[in-house]
Structure 1
Amino acid sequence: MKKIVLLALCLVSFVFILSGCSSSESFEEKSYTPDVQIVGINLDVEDREIKVSLSEDEQVHIQYSENSKEYYDISVSDENVLTMTSASNKSWTDYIGFKPAAEDRKISLQIPNGLLENLTLSTTNEDITLSALAVTGSINISSNGGSISFENLDVGSALSLTVKNGDISGTVVGSYDDFAIQTEIKKGESNLPDNKDSGEKTLNVSSNNGDVNIEFVNE
């Protein structure tokens, strides 16, 4: 019995030692504004909350925090599509006993209204929130471990929403008849039909262990 207790104490001490070795490097607030007119955005990050609002100067702006262990790769393609992805320089001990503060796990994205063709957002374990905005093409949003909420999203062709262990709620600009609808709901409730074929635009919704509540509004 004494050997078991001693072994348990050793394991606990080992964890505390590793926790002390894990990274506690502070984060630095940064911002990015591309010097070209962006036509599409692709944010593919991990463990980050994403908040999207309208830009006041018809430019794209991103505010975020990073350090040498957790940072982002940001690039603009020849087609003027902005891509932002999570990058990491962590060792395995950095995952023990340390989690960035909530304010360091946020990405704030401002976009011009009605000028983007496509907007794609993806994250894990955090929520995605969008204010009223319009794109000329499609919006694709995904959160694994968080919820998606929005108001008055206006798409030119398609809206795709996917969550796991989270809810989807918001309003879409247009009438119910404007959209062909496809939904896949597991362990949750939805106010949308499973399938609706007619409509010039498409609305695809997938939820695993979460509820869906989407309303249509005319502006």
Structure 2
Amino acid sequence: MKKIISLVLCLILSGFILSGCSNSSEPFEEKSYTSDTQINGIDLAVRDREIEVSLSEDEQVHIKYYENSKEYYDISVSDENVLTIASASNKEWTDYIGRKPAAEYRKISLQIPDALLESLTLSTTNEDITLSALAVTGSINISSNGGNISFGDLDVGSALTLTVKNGDISGTIAGSYDDFSIQSEIKKGESNLPENKDSGEKTLTVSGNNGNVDIEFVNK
């Protein structure tokens, strides 16, 4: 009986210790980044972060985000002028116990110039990705595992790729239905796109698992 009581007390004490570790998380600090050179492409790959994309007013790339010494981002520009933003962390195992950061700290706001980027790649987990109406001269690739993808009029020069798991895809594409060849694979969901359409100068590739797809074409 004494052994059982001791075990229960140890478990309770451990719970208090872990709770103390998780509640003493370091506060987040608002940060910003502005490109000081012409950016040709963007590759943003993060985890558990909402991504919001809108147009820049000065033809530069701007990023607003929150970080601390435990959760932060690696930001770099390649020789080809591709801006890369990636999640990085310096967590102990106790940092994964307790509540996740508040929603405002789990959001990345990205502002990009209209019709100046050659490529735009966005990827996240467990959060949504939203884009306002914008144009890219080449391709756009968007992926969310555990969140929704929604967008305004997206205008691409060559290709649009959308991938989602446990979430929905909705939005409008600039151009006519005839402009695009289409490959669509949807599991456990409904879609208003055909599985296959061969003709079209541009390509639209859509993949969804456990979610619905509703995409319209707007011929300007």
- TM bin (shorter chain): over 0.9
The answer to whether residue 75 in structure 2 is matched with residue 74 in structure 1 is yes
What's the RMSD between the two structures over aligned residues? 1.5
Shift of 1:34: 1.4
Q: Distance in 2 between matches of 1:2 and 1:124?
A: 46
**CA 1:18 to 1:192, structure 2 compared with 1: closer, same or farther past 3 Å?**
same
SS of 1:17's partner is: helix
Match of 2:97 in 1: 96
CA deviations 1:163-187 (Å, max 9, x no partner) are 0000000000011111000011110
Is the 1:24–1:98 Cα contact (8 Å) retained in structure 2?
no
Matched residue type, 2:73: Y
Question: Structure 1: where are the runs of 5+ without partners?
Answer: none
**CA 1:34 to 1:15, structure 2 compared with 1: closer, same or farther past 3 Å?**
same
Shift of 1:15: 2.7
**CA 1:2 to 1:141, structure 2 compared with 1: closer, same or farther past 3 Å?**
farther
SS of 1:19's partner is: helix
Shift of 1:214: 0.2
Is the 1:19–1:98 Cα contact (8 Å) retained in structure 2?
no
Shift of 1:98: 3.2
Is the 1:180–1:200 Cα contact (8 Å) retained in structure 2?
yes
Match of 1:35 in 2: 36
**CA 1:121 to 1:7, structure 2 compared with 1: closer, same or farther past 3 Å?**
same
CA deviations 1:39-73 (Å, max 9, x no partner) are 10000000000000000000000000000000000
Q: Distance in 2 between matches of 1:12 and 1:110?
A: 48
Shift of 1:24: 1.1
The answer to whether residue 145 in structure 2 is matched with residue 156 in structure 1 is no
Number of aligned residue pairs: 219
Shift of 1:8: 5.1
SS of 1:139's partner is: strand
Counting only pairs closer than 5 Å after superposition, residues 71-150 of structure 1 correspond to structure 2 as 71-150=72-151
Identity of aligned residues (%): 82
Match of 1:169 in 2: 170
SS of 1:108's partner is: strand
SS of 1:73's partner is: strand
CA deviations 1:59-105 (Å, max 9, x no partner) are 00000000000000000001100000000000000000131110000
Matched residue type, 1:17: I
**CA 1:40 to 1:4, structure 2 compared with 1: closer, same or farther past 3 Å?**
same
Matched residue type, 1:90: K
**CA 1:159 to 1:11, structure 2 compared with 1: closer, same or farther past 3 Å?**
same
Match of 1:207 in 2: 208
The answer to whether residue 214 in structure 2 is matched with residue 216 in structure 1 is no
Question: Structure 2: where are the runs of 5+ without partners?
Answer: none
Shift of 1:11: 2.8
Q: Distance in 2 between matches of 1:144 and 1:171?
A: 21
Match of 2:198 in 1: 197
Q: Distance in 1 between matches of 2:216 and 2:160?
A: 13
Q: Distance in 2 between matches of 1:88 and 1:216?
A: 40
